[in-house]
Structure 1
Amino acid sequence: MDGNGMDTEAGRIDVVSCGIGFPKDAETLGLIGRADVVYGSRALLAACPVEARLTRIIGAKAREDAADALTLCRVGRHVVVLASGDALYHGFGGTLSGMAHPDDTIVYHPGITAFQALFHRLGLPWQDARLFSAHSGEALPARAIAEAPLSVAYAGSRYPAHAISQAVLKLHPASAGRAAVIAERLGSPEERLFSGPLADLARTECGPTSILLLLPTPWHCVPHTVARIAHDARPDSGIHEGSPISHSIPAPILTLGFPEEDYERENNLITASDVRAVILSRLRLPAWGTLWDIGAGSGSVGLEAAGLRPNLNVVGIERKPERGAIIERNRARLGVPNYTLHIGDALELIHASSIDNLLSSPYGGTPAAQPPHQSEALGKRGEGEMRSLLQKGFLSPSPGGSAPSLPPPDRVFIGGGGRDLPELLAACMERMPPGGIMAASAVTLESFHTLSAWSPDRRTGLCSLNIAHEQPIAGTSHHLKQQNTIYLFTFQKEITS
């Protein structure tokens, strides 16, 4: 006992993954009966057939509930946590695991996910499935969902399953006839299952506790186990008897070198599609890590990198606030969630992101925290758009005038820089780890000479891109019209032994 009468012997937390129902095995019921405190959702606690000594409802503030459970464990209490699905897959178990100390005793009891339950219900092998979640309310990975031949996504309050369907269709209209399944409240008395062409399911409203499953085949080619749960076809879906039959769905294309017309831009400020492809190849994008896109403009280089590498954290840096809304609309059009924009001067942001900033928790600011110099730079329309971006979590503001934390980059692309270019190059190189790669483009002779003179021992490549495109001339003939020459420099930070 301590001075407060609390038992200081080591406690324990048992995390029980309940699957899509309530487990009634003797081990689980025994754990609940012996526990000092049982945590769970209101629904799971109501379904519990054993009376617990003390119960606590896990609410919206999961981290606070996890901290309380860990505190009880550390003063010798036996805590049982009841979690739906698999507690370690987007569940409360992951929150506990991330907050636990090495000497905390936590035992995880496995259970099936709703994904597993749905595939078993349909009799479909799922070893090739890609799994997604929109439950957290973050940006929707619509492109990755559309690109996976067999994909399944947890929905949420912001993106119920029908909203995910709509986002996939907006990104890739050719998916209208793709076979799909929506499962709502799987395993409960209110369970609903629908299957049909994706265009139909996009109009089938459902709640946040839902799942969207996309198959790689058109609707008329689905297995009978899927077809038997079909709901009535809608006459306006365009999928009906007599429609042209296709045995495949046109796949989404690679996010590389999209035409300039696909991007919204200011005063034609955009890196040309062919140049974009070369830049991304020279950067040798890693599977994960961080890319800085400095002087983002329309966002095209960073956004295509985000589409090519879904696990890469892409950070756009743009000086002009009014371009932020343009970049967000381009991001939404491409359907990539792994892109964050920082508004401000690149050098100021880099210098202000000290090691202390990087070790602190990521800033989740509000519009009220936007620094004065940014607000003054916006018109009324621009300020409204930027506030909307802040609320969505797409834009990182500067709290109280200090810079937001920029994660250290593994790759850097500099599409501008002006008079500060030498200092900017040095600041980026300093922040990169050994082996990091930086690419910088130049159109003007001044930028070319600056880049030529800067740290030649670190330069690993220089090329000029002279691109000409076919254009009509004299009415009936064609010629190749030369574009401005682009100089592309690449640098690499030395690897120390």
Structure 2
Amino acid sequence: MGDPVVSVVGIGADGWAGLPEPSRTALCEAQVLLGGRRQLDLLPTGDVRGVRRAWPSPLVPALPAILDDVAEQRVAVLASGDPMFFGIGATLARITGPERLRVLVHPSSVALARARLGWGAEQVRVLSVVGRPLDRVRRVLAPGARLLVLSAGAGSPAAIAELLVAAGWGGSAMTVLERLGADDERSVTGTARGWRGDADPLNVVAVECVPDPGTRPPGETPGLPDDAYAHDGQLTKREVRAVTLAHLAPRAGELLWDVGAGSGSIGIEWMRAHPDCRAVAVESHPERSARIPANAAALGVPDLRVVTGRAPDALAGLAPPDVVFVGGGLTRPGVLDACLAALRPGGRLVANAVTVQSEAVLAAAHATHGGDLVRVQVARAEPVGGFDGWRPSMPVTIWSWTRTEGEQG
């Protein structure tokens, strides 16, 4: 692998005193030290003589130029705790390649928090709200779940408590662990509903989830209740949605285009399938488009991107999808063709039709490209006089297709 160009050194709240000898040596030998101002201030001036450069904000766009500027020097980068756990180490590995890094780990704040709480690693869900929407916490709320949330600062515990109360989890136990590993380490325990005040900026929030009476957390599988969404009737209904998601087959890291998104339910449940699933919801109706972010936030996937516009024009410039769902606009010229053309080899497309005209489009596509056609109809029991009878919904035709190598859209 050759000699590393950059040493990435994890450091805790205990600073220089908590560093092992290899980490101290790397810092003492460095000609340039990069890191946050707080981390740089933890280093003694007598032993560590390299030039200190604090990170700019925003950091990631500036990193390539900074690394080029110091390429001929011995460089050490300071990171909080474990550099490869929500840290700068993983970002540097993507930019420089891991072979150019020497990573010297330190216990992460999460590892220290688990040690203080007696929580096994396999029992805990870890989230970060550093530069990320707080509503992500909603996705992992479940009775008895144990969460560790990496805070963005002093106000994070109060903001997390407010979210828990609003979501119906106000009785959840909260422990805020401050300055883990330092001599003045402290922890404060209470409930979300009773939480008051700020904390030290260096904190981790532990949550033991307890639902309030009447709180009904959503399930983990596709097909959430229809009333989980705000909508005007333009909603892929629960049973059809579950079947549609089965055909879409979400996989970690894949990007979905949800074209004709309506309330956003398909894109939302796609993103709920795995934390790394991504989606873009394309909706031409302004009022419906405005509802989608609220639905996404309420169901814990606030990173869903919403594009207000009419396909196919609204698709121009979007990142190429791994999977496309067409829930509306099938009869509009160019929509299906644009979606098919956007798919890479191995990409998947699923389209739903409820009208005779849109069904005809899918029948023609099936005749041209192959794939699978499925018709789904659901009947619900409703009162008929003093008895109950079955009232059928409109049938939905589902076409699913996977592009093979060399096949054209």
TM-score category (smaller protein): 0.7 to 0.9
Give the paired residue count: 399
**1:327 matched residue in structure 2:** 292
Contact kept? 2:7, 2:104, Cα under 8 Å: yes
- Measure, in 2, the Cα distance between the counterparts of 1:71 and 1:323: 46
- Indicate how the Cα distance of structure 1 residues 455 and 320 shifts in structure 2: closer, same or farther if over 3 A, else same: same
Are 1:254 and 2:250 matched, yes or no?
A: no
2:202 maps to 1:292: no
Aligned to 1:433: 344
Letter in 2 for 1:469: R
Q: Distance in 2 between matches of 1:344 and 1:443?
A: 22
Letter in 1 for 2:13: I
Once residues 428 and 12 of structure 1 are traced to their aligned partners in structure 2, the CA distance between those partners, rounded to angstroms, is 44
CA distance in 2, matches of 1:128, 1:428: 41
CA distance 1:456–1:113, change in 2 (3 Å): same
How far residue 159 of structure 1 moved from its aligned partner, in angstroms, is 7.1
Matched residue, 1:129? 124
Q: 1:270 aligns with which of 235, 238, 242?
A: 235
Instruction: Give the equivalent residue in structure 2 for 1:363.
Output: none
Equivalent residue letter for 2:259: I
1:118 and 2:113 are equivalent in the alignment: yes
Alignment partner of 1:200: what SS? Answer: coil
Q: Which residue type is aligned with residue 477 of structure 1?
A: F
Q: What is the aligned counterpart of 2:379 among 444, 468, 479?
A: 468
Q: Distance in 1 between matches of 2:26 and 2:293?
A: 49
Please give the secondary structure, in 2, of the residue aligned with 1:56: strand
Give the Å deviation of 1:495.
Answer: 4.3
Distance 1:459-1:158 versus aligned 2 partners, 3 A rule: farther
Distance 2:199 2:221 in 1: 31
Instruction: Tell me what 1:153 maps to.
Output: 149
Number of the residue aligned with 1:19: 12
Give the corresponding residue for 2:310. Answer: 345
Q: Following TM superposition, by how much is the alpha carbon of 1:300 offset from its aligned partner in structure 2, in angstroms?
A: 1.5
> Which of 96, 102, 109 lines up with 1:100 in the alignment?
96
Among 314, 324, 333, the residue aligned to 1:412: 324
- 1:490 and 2:400 correspond: yes
Shift of 1:17: 0.5
3-state SS of 1:141 partner: helix
Q: Judging changes above 3 Å, is the alpha-carbon distance between structure 1 residues 441 and 250 closer, same or farther for their aligned structure 2 residues?
A: closer
How many Å apart are 1:252 and its aligned residue? 4.6
CA distance in 2 between counterparts of 1:186 and 1:192 reads: 7
SS of equivalent residue, structure 2 residue 286 = coil
Whether 2:199 is the aligned partner of 1:206: answer: yes
Distance 1:126 1:250, change over 3 A: farther
Distance 2:184 2:57 in 1: 23
Equivalent residue letter for 1:431: A
TM-score, normalised with respect to structure 1: 0.71
SS at match of 2:122: coil
CA distance in 1, matches of 2:80, 2:8: 10
Tell me: CA distance 1:89–1:288, structure 2 relative to 1, closer, same or farther (3 Å): same
In the TM superposition, what whole-angstrom CA distance separates every residue of 1:27-78 from its partner, at most 9, and x where no partner exists? 433333333222333333333224324222234332366446523442x322
1:37 to 26, 32, 40: 32
Cα distance, 1:183–1:419 mapped onto 2, change above 3 Å: same
In the TM superposition, what whole-angstrom CA distance separates every residue of 1:106-151 from its partner, at most 9, and x where no partner exists?
Answer: 3221111100111112233223422211102346422333249332
Cα distance change on mapping 1:85 and 1:11 into 2, 3 Å: closer
**Contact kept? 1:146, 1:252, Cα under 8 Å:** no
Q: Runs (4+) of structure 1 moved beyond 6 Å? A: none
Instruction: State whether residues 382 and 389 of structure 2, in contact with CA within 8 Å, keep that contact through their aligned partners in structure 1.
Output: yes
Deviation of the 1:338 alpha carbon = 4.1
Q: Deviations over 1:353-396 (max 9, x none)?
A: 3xxxxxxxxxxxxxxxxxxxxxxxxxxxxxxxxxxxxxxxxxxx
For 2:61 and 2:399, how far apart are their aligned partners in 1?
49
Give identity over the alignment, percent: 27
Which secondary structure state, in structure 2, belongs to the residue aligned with residue 270 of structure 1? coil
Task: Name the residue aligned to 1:233.
Answer: none
Q: Give the partner amino acid of 1:214.
A: V
Where 1:261 maps in the other structure, the secondary structure is helix
Local SS of the residue matching 1:346: coil
Contact 1:293–1:316 (CA under 8 A) maintained in structure 2 = yes
Instruction: Say which SS state the counterpart of residue 480 (structure 1) adopts.
Output: strand
TM (normalized to structure 2)?
A: 0.85
* Separation in 2, partners of 1:277, 1:159: 39
Tell me the equivalent position of 2:279.
314
2:58 paired residue number = 61
Partner of 1:230 in structure 2?
A: none
> What does residue 184 of structure 1 align with?
178
Q: Is the 8 A contact 1:37 1:55 kept in 2?
A: yes
Q: Distance in 1 between matches of 2:106 and 2:242?
A: 45
* Structure 1: stretches of 5+ with no match in the other structure: 1-9, 220-237, 239-243, 354-405
> Superposition RMSD on alpha carbons, in Å?
3.1
Matched residues in 2 for 1:494 and 1:32: separation? 52
Report the residue type matching 2:328 in the other structure. G
Q: Structure 1 pair 123/50, CA: closer, same or farther in 2 (3 Å)? A: farther
Distance 1:496 1:29, change over 3 A: same
Q: 1:102 to 1:177 in 2, by over 3 A?
A: closer
What's the secondary structure of 2:371's corresponding residue? Answer: strand
Tell me how far 1:407 sits from its aligned partner. Answer: 2.3
- Does the C-alpha gap of structure 1 residues 459 and 206 become closer, same or farther in structure 2, counting only changes over 3 Å? farther
TM-fit CA distance, 1:154: 0.6
Matched, 1:167 2:163: yes
Counterpart pick for 1:453 among 345, 361, 364: 364
Distance in 2 (CA, whole Å) between partners of 1:67 and 1:309 is 30
CA 1:112/1:434 → structure 2, altered by over 3 Å: closer, same or farther?
Answer: same
Which structure carries more relative contact order (alpha carbon 8 Å, separation 6+)?
2
Amino acid at match of 1:276: R
Equivalent position to 2:301, from 321, 336, 359: 336
Q: Select which of 96, 117, 139 maps to 1:144.
A: 139
* Equivalent-residue separation in structure 2 for 1:271 and 1:46 (angstroms): 55
CA distance in 1, matches of 2:285, 2:172: 41
Where structure 2 has 5 or more consecutive residues not aligned to the other structure, the ranges are none
* Cα distance between partner residues in 2 of 1:44 and 1:176: 35
1:359 paired residue number: none
